């Protein structure tokens, strides 16, 4: 009986990889590098492929690049001194600016947030321009501008809680004289008020009107 010739199986053809998938590493590389730079230089947590706040992040890294050489050679004022000076200059309740800086950045001068907020007072690029702050990473300049902004909110709302809420969410978010319930601002206000209460207690000073 003649042995049947064994036929070799046809080669398995792999599905062609879509063009968009082949190009995706190149397309996403700048986005990934931007977010990783913010996370590394700004000491923050940022998802590498986050597509949000790109303009702010680029602006923040640009400000950082301008600030860092000056900082390395000249240094800068201490955060505590800048806070005390800002509270005195803008007639803020003792401990309020300190509490805001503590919650915003933990006093870290070179902090950059996932949204591109900069420096110890965490000023967004647009807010820094509005306040005339040319170097948001310089404690004296940044915290002075933040104190001016916080004082204006306090003068508008006549309430520490609402002024703190406006610092976080913007004055336009304050309606009916209540703290916005957006999942962020109410938690922010709670943290700042707790820090403010602790600082006032340490100093033996009464709390300002809430």
All domains in the chain, ordered by first residue: 79-203 (1.10.530.10)
Query: Is pLDDT of 157 > 60?
Result: yes
Stretch 161-175: mean pLDDT:
96
2-16, 42-56, 102-116, 195-209: which range is least confident on average?
2-16
Question: What pLDDT sits at residue 202?
Answer: 80
* The predicted structure's pLDDT at residue 209: 42
* 87 in catalytic set: no
> In 65-82, which positions are buried (b, 16+ CB within 10 angstroms) versus exposed (e)?
eebeeebeeeebbebeeb
Q: What percentage of the chain carries pLDDT values higher than 90?
A: 78
- Among 46, 62, 39, 167, CA closest to 104: 167
% of the chain surpassing 70 pLDDT: 85
Task: Give the confidence band of 4 by pLDDT, cuts at 50, 70, 90.
Answer: low
**Confidence band of 207 (pLDDT split at 50, 70, 90):** very low
Q: What is the pLDDT at residue 5?
A: 58
Q: What is the pLDDT, as a whole number, of residue 165?
A: 98
- In whole angstroms, what is the distance from residue 106 CA to residue 115 CA? 17
pLDDT tens, residue by residue, 72-87: 998 888 999 999 999 9
pLDDT single digits (tens) 7-41: 665 555 556 766 666 666 777 899 999 999 999 99
When pLDDT is cut at 50, 70 and 90, the band that residue 210 belongs to is very low
Q: Reply yes or no on whether the pLDDT at 57 is more than 70.
A: yes
SS (H, E, C) the chain: CCCCCCCCCCCCCCCCCCHHHHHHHHHHHHHHHHHHHHHHHCCCCCCCCCCCCHHHHHHHHHHHHHHHHHHHHHCCCCHHHHHHHHHHHCCCCCCHHHHHHHHHHCCCCCCECCCCCECCCCECHHHHHHHCCCCCCCHHHHHHHHHHHHHHHHHHHCCHHHHHHHHHHCHHHCECCECCCCCCHHHHHHHHHHHHHHHHHHHCCCCCCC
Who has greater pLDDT, 193 or 4?
193
User: So what's the pLDDT on residue 25?
Assistant: 72
Q: Say which of 87, 104, 141, 186 is annotated catalytic.
A: 104
Please compute the mean of the pLDDT values over residues 86-114 and round it to a whole number: 97
Indicate whether 94 pLDDT > 50: yes
């Amino acid at each position: 009986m003649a042995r049947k010739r064994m036929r070799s199986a046809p080669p398995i053809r792999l599905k062609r990889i879509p063009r968009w998938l082949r190009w995706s590493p190149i397309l996403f590389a700048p986005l990934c590098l931007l977010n990783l730079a913010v996370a590394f230089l700004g000491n923050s947590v940022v998802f590498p492929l986050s597509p949000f706040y790109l303009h702010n992040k680029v602006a923040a890294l640009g400000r950082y690049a301008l600030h860092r050489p000056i900082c390395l050679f000249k240094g800068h004022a201490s955060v505590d001194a800048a806070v005390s000076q800002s509270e005195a200059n803008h007639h803020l309740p003792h401990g309020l600016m300190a509490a805001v800086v503590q919650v915003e950045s933990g006093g870290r001068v070179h902090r950059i947030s996932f949204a591109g907020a900069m420096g110890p007072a965490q000023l967004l690029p647009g807010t820094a321009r509005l306040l005339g702050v040319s170097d948001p990473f310089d404690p004296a300049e940044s915290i002075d501008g933040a104190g001016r902004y916080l004082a204006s909110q306090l003068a508008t709302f006549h309430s520490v809680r609402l002024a703190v809420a406006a610092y976080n969410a913007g004055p336009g978010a304050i309606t009916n004289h209540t703290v916005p319930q957006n999942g962020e601002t109410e938690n922010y206000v709670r943290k700042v008020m707790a820090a403010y209460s602790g600082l006032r207690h340490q100093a033996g000073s009464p709390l300002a009107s809430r």
